[in-house]
Amino acid sequence: MSKNYALTATKRERAGKGVARALRRENNIPAVIYGDHKEPLMISMPVKDVTLRFQQGGMKTHICELTVDGKKETVLARDVQLNPVTDRIEHVDFMRVGPKTKLIVHVPIHFVNQEISPGIKAKGILNIVHHDLELRCAAADIPEALEIDMASVDLGDAMKLSAIKLPKGAEIMGHKGDDITVATIVPPTVKAEEPAVAPAAAPVAAAAAKPAAKK
């Protein structure tokens, strides 16, 4: 299960590009909270706090306890908009979530116990087909990562979707009923040795090559 984090925000009354620019000049960013059959709530947030949390990773899979003017909202970041030139965060969309809220999120796959895998010990190469999967699950049960145990995986073995333990009630999207290959261990590539090149014949002395001069 993912860990929660906390942020603070202030309600704002107005929207628009002018308001957004003014907020950014004050080192704040515009954001919005929506969902749960309630009216969207426009807010502003300190860019430093949001950027720090974003850089820690997993912001879109971790539940946020967001305090807006003293009132708490349980939310999940659904979209983080970045400036295409500076990568500075410019806007965040938060969705209200509850214990029964189900979401579709992208969750990374971690390959654990690689150090004791027979295939890796034999110099095999881990060939990853899927680095993450689209998972539908309750907001409170979003995992940090989906794990595949490689403790007994040998050369040539394929790691399938069925090897992943899912949270209760969760399902993989797009692969229902298909036990797809997530990764394989392929044998090491052996580079063929180049044939030895025979040494070049010694050049004939120039003097010997020339005819004797006539007297």
pLDDT in tens, 176-210: 778 899 999 999 876 655 555 655 555 554 444 45
* Domain definitions of the chain by residue range: 5-97, 103-186
CATH class label, 103-186:
mainly beta
Q: How far apart are CA 67 and CA 45, in angstroms?
A: 10
Structure tokens at 198: 């025979």
pLDDT, averaged across the chain: 87
Tokens of 35: 């969902």
Write down the residue that tokens 């909202």 correspond to. 73
Percent of the chain whose pLDDT exceeds 70: 87
The pLDDT tens digits of the residues spanning 55-83 come to 998 898 899 999 999 999 999 999 999 99
pLDDT the model gives residue 64: 94
Q: Which of 12-26, 30-44, 121-135 has the lowest mean pLDDT?
A: 12-26
**pLDDT, tens digit (0-9, with 9 covering 90-100), for 106-139:** 999 999 999 999 999 999 999 999 999 999 999 8
Sheet holding 181-186, edge to edge: 125-128, 181-186, 158-160
pLDDT at residue number 207 = 47
- Report yes or no on whether pTM surpasses 0.85: no
Closest by CA to 27, choosing from 8, 6, 50, 7, is 50
CATH of 5-97, one of 3.40.50.1110, 2.40.240.10, 3.20.20.140, 1.10.3720.10: 2.40.240.10
